[in-house]
Amino acid sequence: MNKTNTEENIIQAAEYEFIERGFEGARMQAIADKAGINKALLHYYFRSKQKLFEVIFKNAFKLFIPRILNVFEREDINFFEKIEAFVENYLNILAKHPHIPGFIIHELANNPSSIVKIVQEIAPDLSPIKQQIEAEVSKGTIRNIRSEHLILNVLSMSIFPIVASPIATMILFNGDKKQYATLLSERKNHVSDFIIQSIKNPNL
């Protein structure tokens, strides 16, 4: 087994362990066993549990944020179309990786200072998006809304149904996962429509 394959196996095993059990519950021996290596070799590649956790958390965080922000750099679509594209791409990623939002929120609740420090190293620059929102407000395309509120509205409306899916499935559909999956698919249009209608200048 070469170095690249070993590292990939470790990261895959660690991702499963940390997402399932959180930082406190994860065990290096379990990660080593799942990766098919001994614990000494695991420590050779990643010196500590904290170092390995940081790699996993950064990968999880980057999966959701930077790769889909580039939709706001497009010049071939208008601002409302950018919101639609962002929401659709974001919900597609959440659907493929439904356990990661809960993992991030769990770690934020249990170890906020450490998580904030990690995020500071990789946080994306949102100033271009804020500037676009402020420009749309100035043009009168959308109502006067703080850019931070709009960003949080989009993220929260997208993330919460994923994180709360076990409870929401039971409350809304008596535990029928197929019906809830259909609802989540419908939200690609619902969320963007709701956001756009809430900010769009009614006089246009």
> Dihedral (C-alpha) 133, 72, 164, 179: value to the nearest 10 degrees?
120
> Mean of the pLDDT values across residues 19-28?
91
CATH topology identical between 3-56 and 65-199: no
> Which distant-in-sequence residues (6+ apart) come within 8 Å of 75 by Cβ?
none
> Mean of the pLDDT values across residues 38-43?
93
CB–CB of 111/23 below 8 Å? Answer: yes
Look at the pTM and tell me if it is higher than 0.75.
yes
**Interval 162-188: pLDDT, tens:** 999 999 999 999 999 999 999 999 998
| In the chain, where the domains are located | 3-56, 65-199
Q: Name the residue among 99, 112, 119 with its Cα closest to residue 17.
A: 99
CATH superfamily of 65-199: Tetracycline Repressor, domain 2 (1.10.357.10)
CB–CB of 86/72 below 8 Å? Answer: yes
Confidence of residue 100 (pLDDT cuts 50, 70, 90): confident
Confidence of residue 2 (pLDDT cuts 50, 70, 90): low
Q: Name the residue among 91, 87, 78, 191 with its Cα closest to residue 132.
A: 78
Mean pLDDT rounded to a whole number for the chain: 90
Instruction: Tokens for 8, please give them.
Output: 């990939």
Residue 14 has pLDDT above 90, yes or no: yes
Give the position of tokens 């390995």.
52
Q: Does domain 3-56 sit in CATH 1.10.10.60?
A: yes
Poorest-confidence range of 20-24, 61-65, 78-82?
Answer: 61-65
